[in-house]
């Protein structure tokens, strides 16, 4: 029997529920932790970023209009599909982060658990951060969180799966739509997660995933007038560190020009194994207060 030829996979972008090639026509080689070639990934351009924002805006109305309980069901379904494809993700994390099989398995398990954790908060956040406010007058005064809109997320550079899930899940579970720029050197878990999202119940456009250089795509997302918020967490892992610091400052300035909400780059990459706080969700919601006269 003749030897088979290896079928090398070129990973595409994930925009609007579809898998287009980059508008630029470029891809870049992805290597494992030992420097061995693994696959090619699409090199997203600023045009791809604009297309992703258009898709996210189109999806936002329907997604934010769903009940919190339904969003919990959808996120739980993502966890189910990720759990079902566990062996694939263990290999992807091993290749990307250079971990042993057992440690990579623990990372995948933690990512699944993190999705379930956020799914559980979907219909409880309003009761915790909202409520009835005492006022001096014959009025009811009620506060409730609402999603901010389209959120750009620069994913962590080092924690390629658990970090990605930890920054993406709180954005979408609260009703936002997202444009995510994956880790440049470690995109394999992200592009595999895109396939999970496409085969679960997440509507197209709610999550849009771009592979490429955050230093190239980030400025366009920070300055885009139809992006309502940006998470700069992934800037911290860029090399050299001085370049990451300078980019974080530039992105904050660009975001301030159109009054975006900004989650600033942390001093160091967070410990994603720790249980997150509610701020991961409340950073990208707005508190709406309604006054209503009593007896009407």
Q: Look at residue 2 and tell me if it is in a domain.
A: no
Inside any domain, residue 53: yes
Neighbours of 106 (CB within 10 A): 16
Structure tokens at 271: 């410990």
Q: How far apart are CA 119 and CA 166, in angstroms?
A: 12
Cβ 42 vs Cβ 139: under 8 Å: no
Measured distance CA(178)–CA(107) in Å, rounded: 23
The predicted pLDDT at position 5 comes to: 81
Residue 24 near residue 48, CB atoms below 8 Å: yes
Note whether residue 110 is domain-resident.
yes
Residue from 106, 98, 92, 82 nearest 33 by CA: 98
- 8 touches 39 (CB < 8 A): yes
Cβ atoms < 10 Å from Cβ of 283:
17
Q: Select from 77, 269, 63, 238 the least CA-distant residue to 166.
A: 269
Domain count, the chain: 1
Asked, for residue 1, whether it belongs to a domain, the answer is: no
What is residue 296's predicted lDDT score, i.e. its pLDDT? 59
Q: What is the CATH number of the domain that holds 114?
A: 3.40.605.10
Residue 191 in any domain: the answer is: yes
Query: Which residues, 6+ apart, have CB-to-CB distance to 249 below 8 Å?
Result: none
Task: Determine, yes or no, domain membership for 216.
Answer: yes
In-domain check, residue 4:
no
Which residue range forms the structural domain that includes residue 37? 11-293
Write out the chain's pLDDT in tens, 296 residues: 678 887 777 899 999 999 999 998 999 999 988 999 988 999 999 999 999 999 999 999 999 999 999 999 999 999 999 999 999 999 999 999 999 999 999 999 999 999 999 999 999 999 898 877 788 888 888 888 999 999 999 999 889 999 999 999 999 999 999 999 999 999 999 999 999 999 999 999 999 999 999 989 999 999 999 999 999 988 876 767 667 788 888 999 999 988 899 998 777 778 899 999 999 999 999 988 888 887 65
């Amino acid at each position: 029997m003749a030897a088979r030829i290896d079928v090398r996979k070129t990973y595409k972008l994930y925009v609007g529920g579809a898998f287009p090639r980059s508008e630029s026509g470029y891809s870049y080689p992805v290597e494992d932790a030992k420097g061995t070639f693994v696959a090619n990934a699409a090199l997203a351009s600023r045009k791809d970023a604009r297309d992703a924002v258009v898709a996210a805006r189109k999806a936002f109305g329907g997604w934010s209009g769903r009940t919190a309980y339904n969003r919990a069901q959808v996120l739980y379904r993502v966890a189910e599909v990720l759990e079902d494809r566990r062996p694939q993700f263990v290999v992807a994390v091993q290749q990307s982060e250079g971990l042993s099989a057992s440690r990579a398995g623990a990372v995948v398990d933690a990512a699944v658990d993190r999705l379930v954790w956020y799914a559980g908060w979907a219909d409880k956040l309003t009761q915790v951060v909202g409520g009835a406010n005492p006022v001096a007058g014959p009025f009811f005064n009620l506060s409730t969180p609402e999603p901010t809109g389209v959120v750009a997320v620069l994913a962590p550079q080092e924690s390629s799966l658990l970090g990605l899930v930890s920054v993406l899940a709180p954005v979408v579970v609260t009703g936002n739509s997202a444009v995510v720029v994956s880790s440049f050197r470690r995109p394999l878990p992200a592009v595999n997660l895109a396939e999970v999202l496409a085969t679960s119940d997440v509507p197209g456009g709610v999550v849009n995933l771009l592979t490429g250089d955050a230093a190239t795509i980030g400025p366009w997302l920070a300055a885009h007038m139809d992006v309502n918020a940006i998470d700069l967490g992934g800037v911290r892992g860029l090399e050299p560190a001085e370049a990451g610091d300078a980019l974080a400052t530039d992105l904050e300035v660009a975001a301030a020009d159109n009054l975006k909400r900004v989650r600033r780059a942390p001093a160091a990459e967070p410990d994603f194994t720790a249980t997150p706080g509610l701020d991961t969700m409340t950073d990208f919601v707005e508190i709406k207060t309604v006054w209503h006269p009593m007896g009407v």
